[in-house]
Structure 1
Amino acid sequence: MTRLTDHLIIISFDCLSALDYPILTDLPHFQTILKNGTYVENVETIYPSVTYPCHATIVTGNYPNRHGVINNTLLQPGRPSPDWNWYRHCIHGTTLYDEAKQANLTTAALLWPVTGKAGIDYNMPEIFANRPWQNQILVSLMNGTPSFQLDLNKRFGHIRNGLNQPELDDFVLESTVHTIKTKKPNLVMVHFTDLDTQRHYHGFSSTEAVAAIHRHNQRLGRILAALHESGIYENSTVVALGDHSALDENKVINLNVLFYNKKLITTNPKGRVINWQAYCKSCDGSAYIYINDKQDSATIQEVKQLLDSLLDDPTSGIEQVLTGEQAAAKGADGSCAFMLEAKRGYYFLEDMEGEYIQSFSREDAASNKKYTLACHGYSPEKEQYGTIFMAAGKGINQITLPSIRLIDEGPTFARLLGVSLGNTDGRVIEEMLTI
Structure 2
Amino acid sequence: MIVISFDCLSALDFPLIHTLPNFMRVFQKGSFSKNVETIYPSVTYPCHATIVTGNYPNRHGVINNTLLQPGVASPDWNWFRSAIKGTTLYDEACKANLTTAALLWPVTGKAKSIQYNLPEIFPNRPWQNQILVSLMSGTPSYQWELNKRFGSIRNGLNQPELDDFVLESTVHTILTKEPNLLLVHFTDLDTMRHNYGVFSDEATDAIHRHDQRLGRILDALEENGRYEETTIVILGDHSALDENKAVHLNVIFREKNLISIDSKGKITDWKVYCNGCDGSAYIYLKNNNDNQTKQAVKNILDELIADPDNGIERILTGEEAGRKGADSTCAYMVEARLGFYFLESHEGEYIKHVTQKDVWENNKYMLACHGYSPEKQDYSTFFLASGKGILADEEVPFMRLIDIGPTLARLLGVDLGHTDGQVIEKFLNLKDP
Settle same-fold status: TM greater than 0.5.
yes
Alignment of 1:407-426 (within 5 A): 407-426=402-421
- Please give the secondary structure, in 2, of the residue aligned with 1:234: coil
2:25 corresponds to which residue? 32
Question: In the alignment, does 2:97 pair up with 1:104?
Answer: yes
Aligned equivalents of 1:179, 1:118: Cα separation in 2: 18
Map Cα deviations across residues 373-405 of structure 1 (whole Å, 9 max, x no partner).
Answer: 000000000000000000100100120111110
> 1:103: Cα distance to partner?
0.3
Aligned equivalents of 1:102, 1:362: Cα separation in 2: 48
Aligned equivalents of 2:276, 2:198: Cα separation in 1: 20
The amino acid that maps onto 1:24 is I
> 1:146: Cα distance to partner?
0.4
> 1:204: Cα distance to partner?
0.5
> 1:354: Cα distance to partner?
1.7
Alignment of 1:381-396 (within 5 A): 381-396=375-390
2:174 corresponds to which residue? 180
> 1:360: Cα distance to partner?
2.2
1:117 to 91, 110, 114: 110
> 1:303: Cα distance to partner?
0.3
The amino acid that maps onto 2:146 is L
Question: In the alignment, does 2:273 pair up with 1:279?
Answer: yes
Aligned equivalents of 2:357, 2:81: Cα separation in 1: 39
2:71 to 75, 78, 84: 78
Aligned equivalents of 2:308, 2:155: Cα separation in 1: 44
2:370 corresponds to which residue? 376
TM superposition outliers: structure 1 runs of 4+ over 6 Å:
none
Q: CA RMSD in A?
A: 0.8
Question: In the alignment, does 2:51 pair up with 1:46?
Answer: no
Alignment of 1:115-194 (within 5 A): 115-119=108-112, 120-194=114-188
- Please give the secondary structure, in 2, of the residue aligned with 1:58: helix
TM-score by length of 2: 0.98
2:245 corresponds to which residue? 251
Aligned equivalents of 1:370, 1:210: Cα separation in 2: 22
Aligned equivalents of 1:81, 1:51: Cα separation in 2: 17
Map Cα deviations across residues 12-48 of structure 1 (whole Å, 9 max, x no partner).
Answer: 0000000001110110111111221111021000000
Aligned equivalents of 2:10, 2:28: Cα separation in 1: 18
Give the number of equivalent residue pairs.
Answer: 428
1:217 to 208, 211, 216: 211
- Please give the secondary structure, in 1, of the residue aligned with 2:65: coil
Q: Is the 8 A contact 2:174 2:221 kept in 1?
A: yes
Question: In the alignment, does 2:340 pair up with 1:346?
Answer: yes
Map Cα deviations across residues 384-434 of structure 1 (whole Å, 9 max, x no partner).
Answer: 000000010010012011111000000001001100000000001111001
Question: In the alignment, does 2:235 pair up with 1:231?
Answer: no
2:351 to 344, 351, 357: 357
The amino acid that maps onto 2:396 is L
The amino acid that maps onto 2:18 is T
The amino acid that maps onto 1:340 is V
Aligned equivalents of 1:105, 1:365: Cα separation in 2: 43
1:14 corresponds to which residue? 7
Instruction: Give aligned-pair identity as a percent.
Output: 68
> 1:273: Cα distance to partner?
1.0
Aligned equivalents of 1:163, 1:251: Cα separation in 2: 25
> 1:104: Cα distance to partner?
0.2
Map Cα deviations across residues 346-367 of structure 1 (whole Å, 9 max, x no partner).
Answer: 0001111222112122233233
Map Cα deviations across residues 216-273 of structure 1 (whole Å, 9 max, x no partner).
Answer: 0000000000000111111001011000000000111111011000110011112211
More displaced 10-residue stretch of structure 1: 310-319 or 218-227: 310-319
2:296 corresponds to which residue? 302
- Please give the secondary structure, in 2, of the residue aligned with 1:395: coil
More displaced 10-residue stretch of structure 1: 250-259 or 26-35: 26-35
Question: In the alignment, does 2:189 pair up with 1:195?
Answer: yes
Map Cα deviations across residues 23-78 of structure 1 (whole Å, 9 max, x no partner).
Answer: 10110111111221111021000000000000000000000000000000000011
1:4 corresponds to which residue? none
Q: Is the 8 A contact 2:90 2:181 kept in 1?
A: yes
1:5 corresponds to which residue? none
> 1:199: Cα distance to partner?
0.4
1:335 to 314, 320, 329: 329
Aligned equivalents of 2:40, 2:27: Cα separation in 1: 27
- Please give the secondary structure, in 1, of the residue aligned with 2:308: coil
Map Cα deviations across residues 292-325 of structure 1 (whole Å, 9 max, x no partner).
Answer: 0001010000001111111222221100000000
Aligned equivalents of 2:85, 2:328: Cα separation in 1: 15
Aligned equivalents of 1:366, 1:125: Cα separation in 2: 27
The amino acid that maps onto 2:295 is Q
Aligned equivalents of 2:283, 2:119: Cα separation in 1: 30
Aligned equivalents of 1:254, 1:315: Cα separation in 2: 13
Aligned equivalents of 2:360, 2:148: Cα separation in 1: 34
Aligned equivalents of 1:368, 1:283: Cα separation in 2: 18
2:80 to 76, 87, 91: 87
The amino acid that maps onto 1:381 is E
Question: In the alignment, does 2:60 pair up with 1:67?
Answer: yes
1:320 corresponds to which residue? 314
Aligned equivalents of 2:95, 2:274: Cα separation in 1: 40
Question: In the alignment, does 2:255 pair up with 1:261?
Answer: yes
Aligned equivalents of 1:291, 1:71: Cα separation in 2: 17
